[in-house]
């Protein structure tokens, strides 16, 4: 998708007559069904006028121009994209990232500077880093740039047409040297150099011919990328398959290959509780299918989990590691296989406060439409937000409605978490009133899983830090019973979790939830999406949204007062006043079930042990009464 496509001459004319911003606005409304912000309109007016003058000066009159070109399967759009041939008649394309910045300040981040956006200072990627990521992504995601005898050569640069450099300018910090060499940075006084950069790659014209190759291309990861993904996952001992995991993997792989061979659209359903290896199976399927050069995607609904997998496999793997809401505009059967991990987190639609989607269909239908084979790995009892609708019944109903072949697999039973203790998870489910199981009573002396009820948060954290100091993975978590503040101006975190003398911050609040305030994280603090993976996460308390999908050797849990047991009522009681999860609080009759699911998730993160303290002592007495 792009908001504007045409010749360089047509673009220059539209910009000269002040028509281009209004054309972009009209195309934006037609596609998104709402108007762009005044800031975006202002950016189009100023930045595109600067580019128009530059093309005129460079005499680029037979090139192709794309404005606001959307990177495949992302919400990111390229500001300015120009195509043509060089003097050897090779097809070329150049991405130009446009900025209206006038000042920057240093940032502690390896890839960031600080600048003023919307009247407030915030951390943002250095322009060369940003446009370099776009180029690498497009090169791996679009067949025009990696298939055929002569793929289009893709280049990138950044143009800050309002910017004047000063001594010790953060944009020219040595830490950005490599990125600036690969993705040059041009300021207001560098228009002549930028002109030479573009002329050297596009001077032979024939830009519309090159542009057509891009329009005709497909969204498909390169073979090189697929082989890299396969190599990283296959070589990681954390993803080794054991026993029933390997059996399930073999059966699913055979079913996938049969569906692709016969061309019959298929849905596969694989249920399994916490710790039964759903993610390990999905990642191994991604690796093997990639090795076979199948266009396979691994998708989840969790930013934290997706970001961590991308960090482990490599940032270029963003093409294959996606979100459930990435498929709303993907053509039918464009992807061979979509592996939906944590599919209980599928939402009603892909439209949200952060991403407005016109005429949004059910999210599961978008996924099924986009894939020849869609695989759903899920646990019905891990739904923790009211808008999450993923369930076994939803998959079955969708298959029936869409008339798609559905193959259901037996539930994954073997437990690889909680020291392999099925009985611990069964006891948690029985105690929380989520299910009647064979284990109503927990007998610690008969189990290898280290479960302890401690008196205070201080005792829990002391035990967790002792494990971490031994090089064992361990984290503190809690129910969502305290406010969650944005980082302070100096990048430190507010100690929101306050229980008597115990004071700790939550993991960092995501930038997208901190609208209207400066956003900056100190060097010692990991982003929320990497809290579970980064060793520095030991200094913060994680919530269910950053812990779900992950596992640690030991997990500490602060059981808040949003869910309490009352002996006089003989049941669990929800306490909305103690909850700071605004979405869950508004969920009416679902509140108690969602909070129960939240604590089930937190209590089952540990591979070897779980240490817990209860803020409500009557609840603690009840849980102890269920222990032998």
DSSP output for 543-577: -HHHHTT--EEEEEEEE-TTEEEETTTTEEEE-GG
Residue 89 resides in a domain = yes
In what helix (H) or strand (E) does residue 603 lie, and over which residues does it extend? helix 591-603
> What's residue 395's pLDDT?
96
Same domain? For 10 and 34 the reply is yes
> What's residue 236's pLDDT?
67
pLDDT at 187 over 80: yes
> What's residue 458's pLDDT?
97
CA distances 74 to 78, 363, 434, Å, are 11, 15, 37
Q: In this structure, what token pair is assigned to residue 100?
A: 């209206």
Among 191, 216, 241, the domain-final residue is: 216
CA distances 532 to 192, 273, 305, 602, Å, are 47, 20, 9, 13
- Please check whether residue 53 is in contact with residue 198, taking contact to mean a CB–CB distance below 8 angstroms: no
Secondary structure, 3-state, 321-342: EEEHHHCCCCCCCCEEEEEECC
Phi first, then psi, for residue 580 (nearest 5°) are: -110, 15
Residue 507 resides in a domain = yes
Same domain? For 267 and 239 the reply is yes
Beta strands 77-85 and 120-125, pairing class: unpaired
Q: How many residues does the chain have?
A: 628
Same domain? For 192 and 134 the reply is yes
Please tell me the distance from the alpha carbon of residue 81 to that of residue 94, in angstroms, as a whole number: 6
Tell how far CA 493 is from the center of its chain. 22
Please tell me the distance from the alpha carbon of residue 284 to that of residue 250, in angstroms, as a whole number: 10
Question: In which domain, by residue range, is 367 found?
Answer: 223-408
Residue 439 resides in a domain = yes
Q: How many CB atoms neighbour CB 567 within 10 A? A: 11
Please tell me the distance from the alpha carbon of residue 289 to that of residue 291, in angstroms, as a whole number: 5
Same domain? For 59 and 208 the reply is yes
Residue 499 resides in a domain = yes
> What's residue 311's pLDDT?
81
Task: Say how many domains are in the chain.
Answer: 3
Same domain? For 365 and 263 the reply is yes
Please tell me the distance from the alpha carbon of residue 483 to that of residue 539, in angstroms, as a whole number: 17
Q: How confident is the model at residue 380 (pLDDT cuts 50, 70, 90)?
A: confident
Cβ neighbors of 593 (< 8 A, separation 6 or more) are none
Same domain? For 178 and 324 the reply is no
- Please check whether residue 515 is in contact with residue 508, taking contact to mean a CB–CB distance below 8 angstroms: no
Same domain? For 344 and 390 the reply is yes
> What's residue 419's pLDDT?
45
Kindly report, residue by residue over 231-240, the tens digit of the pLDDT. 777 766 666 6
Residue 413 resides in a domain = no
Same domain? For 206 and 355 the reply is no
Same domain? For 499 and 483 the reply is yes
Percent of the chain with pLDDT over 70: 96
Average pLDDT over residues 143-157: 93
Radius of gyration of the chain (CA): 26
- Please check whether residue 364 is in contact with residue 395, taking contact to mean a CB–CB distance below 8 angstroms: yes
pLDDT at 418 over 60: no
Among 216, 245, 273, the domain-final residue is: 216
Same domain? For 197 and 144 the reply is yes
Task: Find the distance separating the first CA and the last CA of the chain, reported in whole Å.
Answer: 62
Residue 268 resides in a domain = yes
pLDDT at 416 over 60: no
Among 189, 216, 243, the domain-final residue is: 216
Please tell me the distance from the alpha carbon of residue 386 to that of residue 408, in angstroms, as a whole number: 26
Same domain? For 205 and 234 the reply is no
Least confident of 49-53, 245-249, 474-478: 245-249
Residue 157 resides in a domain = yes
Cβ neighbors of 82 (< 8 A, separation 6 or more) are 8, 55, 60, 63, 64, 65, 66, 93, 94, 96, 198, 202, 207
């Amino acid at each position: 998708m792009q908001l504007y496509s045409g010749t360089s001459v047509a673009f220059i004319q539209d910009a000269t007559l002040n028509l281009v911003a209004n054309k972009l606005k009209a195309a934006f409304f037609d596609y998104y069904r709402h108007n762009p912000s005044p800031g975006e309109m202002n950016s189009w007016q100023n930045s595109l006028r600067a580019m128009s003058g530059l093309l005129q000066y460079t005499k680029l009159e037979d090139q192709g121009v794309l404005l606001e070109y959307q990177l495949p399967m992302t919400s990111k759009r390229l500001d300015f994209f120009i195509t043509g041939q060089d003097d050897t008649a090779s097809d070329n394309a150049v991405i130009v990232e446009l900025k209206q910045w006038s000042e920057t300040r240093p940032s502690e981040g390896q890839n960031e500077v600080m600048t003023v956006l919307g009247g407030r200072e915030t951390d943002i990627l250095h322009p060369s880093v940003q446009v370099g990521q776009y180029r690498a992504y497009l090169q791996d995601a679009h067949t025009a740039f990696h298939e055929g005898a002569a793929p289009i050569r893709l280049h990138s640069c950044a143009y800050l047409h309002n910017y004047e450099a000063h001594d010790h300018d953060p944009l020219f910090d040595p830490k950005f040297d490599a990125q600036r060499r690969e993705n040059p940075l041009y300021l207001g006084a560098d228009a002549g150099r930028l002109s030479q950069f573009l002329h050297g790659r596009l001077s032979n014209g024939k830009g519309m011919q090159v542009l057509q190759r891009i329009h005709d291309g497909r969204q498909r990861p390169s073979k090189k990328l697929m082989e890299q993904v396969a190599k990283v996952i296959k070589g990681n001992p954390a993803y080794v398959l054991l026993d029933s995991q390997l059996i399930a993997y073999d059966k699913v792989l055979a079913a996938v290959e049969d569906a692709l061979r016969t061309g019959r659209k298929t849905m596969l359903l694989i249920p399994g509780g916490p710790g039964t290896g759903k993610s390990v199976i999905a990642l191994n399927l991604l690796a093997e299918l990639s090795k076979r050069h199948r266009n396979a995607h691994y998708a989840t609904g969790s930013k934290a989990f997706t970001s961590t997998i991308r960090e482990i496999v490599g940032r270029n793997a963003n093409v294959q590691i996606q979100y459930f809401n990435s498929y709303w505009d993907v053509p039918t059967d464009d992807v061979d296989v979509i592996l939906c991990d944590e599919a209980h987190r599928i939402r009603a639609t892909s439209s949200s406060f952060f991403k407005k989607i016109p005429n949004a269909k059910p999210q599961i239908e978008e996924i099924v439409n986009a894939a020849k084979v869609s695989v759903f790995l899920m646990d019905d009892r891990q739904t923790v937000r009211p808008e999450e609708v993923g369930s076994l019944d939803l998959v079955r109903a969708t298959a029936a409605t869409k008339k798609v072949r559905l193959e259901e697999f037996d539930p994954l039973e073997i437990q690889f978490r909680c020291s392999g203790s099925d009985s611990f998870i069964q006891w948690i489910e029985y105690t929380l009133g989520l299910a009647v199981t064979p284990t109503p009573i927990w007998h610690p002396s008969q189990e290898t899983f280290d479960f302890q009820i401690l008196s205070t948060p201080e005792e829990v954290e002391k035990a967790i830090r002792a494990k971490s100091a031994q090089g064992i993975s361990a984290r503190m978590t809690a129910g969502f019973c305290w406010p969650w503040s944005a980082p302070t101006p100096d990048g430190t975190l507010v100690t929101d979790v306050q229980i008597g003398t115990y004071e700790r911050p939550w993991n960092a609040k995501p930038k997208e939830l901190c609208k209207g305030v400066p956003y900056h994280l100190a060097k010692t603090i990991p982003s929320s999406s990497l809290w579970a993976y980064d060793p520095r996460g030991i200094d913060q308390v994680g919530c269910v949204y950053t812990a779900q999908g992950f596992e640690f050797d030991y997990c500490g849990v602060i059981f808040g007062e949003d869910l309490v047991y009352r002996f006089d009522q003989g049941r669990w009681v929800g306490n909305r006043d103690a909850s700071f999860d605004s979405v869950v609080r508004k969920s009416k009759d679902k509140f108690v079930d969602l909070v129960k699911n939240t604590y089930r998730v937190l209590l089952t993160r540990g591979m070897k042990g779980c240490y817990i303290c209860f803020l409500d002592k009557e609840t603690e007495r009840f849980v102890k009464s269920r222990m032998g």
